[in-house]
């Protein structure tokens, strides 16, 4: 039965994501969102992966209340004390070589800024991305996003080159089985070289390829990737939209790899549910681009209210040791998911780091035959039972649940969520 509000929504809204959720949400707190019909929905997606410390965290609400007495928005050339303080706090947490920041609104914007700076600094225009990657919906970011969002919108920007994802469960070059030995990287870079016209600018990479089905990049893979980029003069853009602020068990994922990229882009988690993103680079890079006339003026660059929220999220991250909490809760959740795998033959693989985990749904575990339709039915059944789960449908691979509850999730909430997932799978496979 279609509700009145659903009819109203279709009358006034552009349908931008396929079908909208059948629940009308009126409030949210912690690990739950609450619908107008009174139902409580346990959120294993952290909203759109943004409410990393739970919905409506009190510290974030307190930062928003500063808008009563402080500036909310300013002319783009005007700065605020909150913005300067946020830049300083970023420098305290990030390694030397990531010293200058610009604060924007979305991940698309932060990646656009990094891409513009990389092209301006190098004089090149070729950008290398990964199969299944997601870097945003704006023209530049989307051109180097190799997911299901490319078809039907005309040509991408010139110089868009692609590497295969190191998907050991389904090796892209049919070489590895379960453990990647980086052969796909060596082969992929050779193919990229053959496509290049000699105008390399940058490579953009996520430490976990999320929209590709939760594919973590190992330290050895990342080390070799950095070496290959340095050999070619490719700058490295590290997109931590989903992995920053503790989610993988580190404040920032780059800490695990012990490398400093040329650019770090942050979004989603930085605002804790509010629109805040950042592009970070070295002093030398910023000087070079400034001297070349770099410009990136948007309506909400450097907004003071969002900067105050960013300060609050960084305070929560460090004060409450959220990275350590992600390690502990992530290990517990992964253990529970592996136990589910032993009971349900449709679960082909469980993978991921910290509280960013993937669970792949298959028709046959031996052949790894995909079953995206079953995955979608399980997701719908989860929601009916009161659990919000996100399934990413990867072209050629099938369906993978992207499981990312808030870092504040409790063991009791994990147990409840896993029990509902268990019931949903049983209901859909019996």
**Domain 62-319: which CATH number of 3.30.465.10, 3.40.640.10, 3.40.50.150, 3.40.50.2300:** 3.40.640.10
Domain borders along the chain are 4-53+321-429, 62-319
Determine which one of 286, 351, 402, 413 is catalytic. Answer: 402
Residues whose CB is less than 8 angstroms from the CB of residue 130 and which lie 6 or more positions away in sequence, other chains included: 146, 162, 163, 164, 165, 205, 206, 209, 212
- CA distance linking residue 145 with residue 148, whole number of Å: 9
Q: Please indicate whether residue 206 is annotated as part of the active site.
A: yes
First to last CA, the chain: 26
Determine which one of 142, 242, 327, 336 is catalytic. Answer: 242
User: Can you give the pLDDT of all 430 residues of the chain as single tens digits?
Assistant: 688 999 999 999 999 988 899 999 999 999 999 999 999 999 999 999 999 999 999 999 999 998 788 999 999 999 999 999 999 999 999 999 999 999 999 999 999 999 999 999 999 999 999 999 999 999 999 999 998 888 899 999 999 999 999 988 888 887 877 778 888 999 999 999 999 999 999 999 999 999 999 999 999 999 999 999 999 999 999 999 999 999 999 999 999 999 999 999 999 999 999 999 999 999 999 999 999 999 999 999 999 999 999 999 999 999 999 999 999 999 999 999 999 999 999 999 999 999 999 999 999 999 999 898 999 999 999 999 999 999 987 665 668 999 999 999 999 999 999 999 999 999 999 8
Determine which one of 268, 325, 351, 353 is catalytic. Answer: 268
Mapping DSSP to helix (H, G, I), strand (E, B) and coil, where does residue 365 land? coil
The dihedral through the CA atoms of 256, 134, 270, 120 has a sign that is: positive
**The pLDDT of residue 228:** 98
Q: Please indicate whether residue 231 is annotated as part of the active site.
A: no
- CA distance linking residue 86 with residue 75, whole number of Å: 18
Q: Please indicate whether residue 402 is annotated as part of the active site.
A: yes
Determine which one of 206, 240, 360, 371 is catalytic. Answer: 206
Determine which one of 43, 82, 126, 239 is catalytic. Answer: 239
Q: Confirm if 224 and 149 have CB atoms less than 8 A apart.
A: no
Can you give the length of the chain in residues?
430
User: 142, 138, 118, 117: which is closest to 200 by C-alpha?
Assistant: 118
Q: Confirm if 365 and 379 have CB atoms less than 8 A apart.
A: no
Q: Confirm if 203 and 237 have CB atoms less than 8 A apart.
A: yes
**The pLDDT of residue 395:** 65
Q: Please indicate whether residue 250 is annotated as part of the active site.
A: no
Q: Do 4-53+321-429 and 62-319 fold alike per CATH? A: no
pTM above 0.85, yes or no: yes
Mapping DSSP to helix (H, G, I), strand (E, B) and coil, where does residue 87 land? helix
Q: What's the CATH architecture for 4-53+321-429?
A: Alpha-Beta Complex (3.90)
**The pLDDT of residue 340:** 98
Residues whose CB is less than 8 angstroms from the CB of residue 43 and which lie 6 or more positions away in sequence, other chains included: 28, 31, 32, 33, 51, 55, 388, 405, 406
Determine which one of 89, 109, 134, 349 is catalytic. Answer: 134
**The pLDDT of residue 289:** 98
Q: Confirm if 300 and 104 have CB atoms less than 8 A apart.
A: yes
**The pLDDT of residue 397:** 63
Q: Please indicate whether residue 242 is annotated as part of the active site.
A: yes
């Amino acid at each position: 039965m279609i509700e009145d509000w659903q009819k109203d929504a279709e009358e006034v809204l552009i349908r931008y994501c396929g079908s909208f959720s059948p629940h009308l949400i009126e409030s949210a707190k912690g690990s739950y969102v609450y619908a107008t019909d009174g139902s409580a929905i346990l959120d294993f997606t952290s909203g759109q992966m943004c409410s990393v410390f739970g919905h409506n965290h009190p510290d974030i609400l307190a930062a928003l209340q500063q808008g009563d007495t402080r500036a909310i928005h300013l002319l783009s050339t005007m700065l605020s004390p909150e913005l300067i303080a946020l830049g300083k706090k970023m420098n305290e947490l990030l390694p030397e070589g990531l010293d200058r920041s610009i604060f924007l609104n979305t991940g698309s914007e932060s990646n656009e800024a990094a891409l513009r700076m990389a092209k301006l600094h190098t004089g090149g225009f070729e950008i290398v991305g990964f199969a299944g990657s997601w870097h945003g919906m704006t023209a530049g970011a989307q051109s180097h996003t190799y997911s299901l969002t490319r078809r039907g919108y005309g040509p991408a920007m010139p110089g868009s080159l692609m590497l295969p994802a190191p998907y050991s469960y389904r090796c892209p070059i049919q070489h590895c089985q379960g453990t990647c030995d980086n052969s796909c990287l060596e082969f992929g870079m050779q193919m990229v070289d053959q496509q290049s016209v000699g105008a390399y600018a940058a490579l953009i990479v996520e430490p976990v390829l999320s929209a590709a089905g939760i594919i973590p990049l190992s330290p050895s893979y990342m080390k070799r990737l950095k070496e290959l980029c340095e050999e070619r003069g490719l700058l490295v853009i590290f997109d931590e939209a989903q992995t920053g602020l503790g989610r993988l068990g580190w404040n920032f994922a780059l800490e695990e790899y012990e490398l400093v990229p040329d650019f770090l882009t942050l979004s989603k988690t930085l605002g804790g549910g509010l629109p805040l993103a950042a592009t970070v680079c070295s002093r030398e890079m910023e000087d070079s681009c400034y001297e070349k006339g770099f410009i990136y003026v948007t309506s909400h660059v450097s907004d003071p209210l969002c900067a105050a929220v960013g300060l609050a999220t960084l305070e929560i991250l460090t004060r409450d040791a959220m990275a350590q909490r992600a390690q502990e809760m992530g290990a517990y959740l992964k253990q529970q998911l592996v136990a589910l795998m032993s009971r349900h033959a449709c679960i082909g693989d469980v993978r991921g780091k910290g509280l960013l985990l993937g669970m792949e749904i298959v028709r046959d575990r031996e052949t790894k035959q995909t079953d995206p339709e079953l995955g979608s039915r399980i997701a719908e059944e989860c929601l009916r039972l009161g659990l919000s789960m996100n399934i990413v449908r990867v072209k050629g691979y099938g369906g993978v649940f992207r499981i990312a509850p808030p870092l504040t999730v409790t063991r009791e909430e994990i147990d409840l969520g896993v029990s509902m997932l268990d019931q949903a799978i049983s209901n859909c496979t019996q």
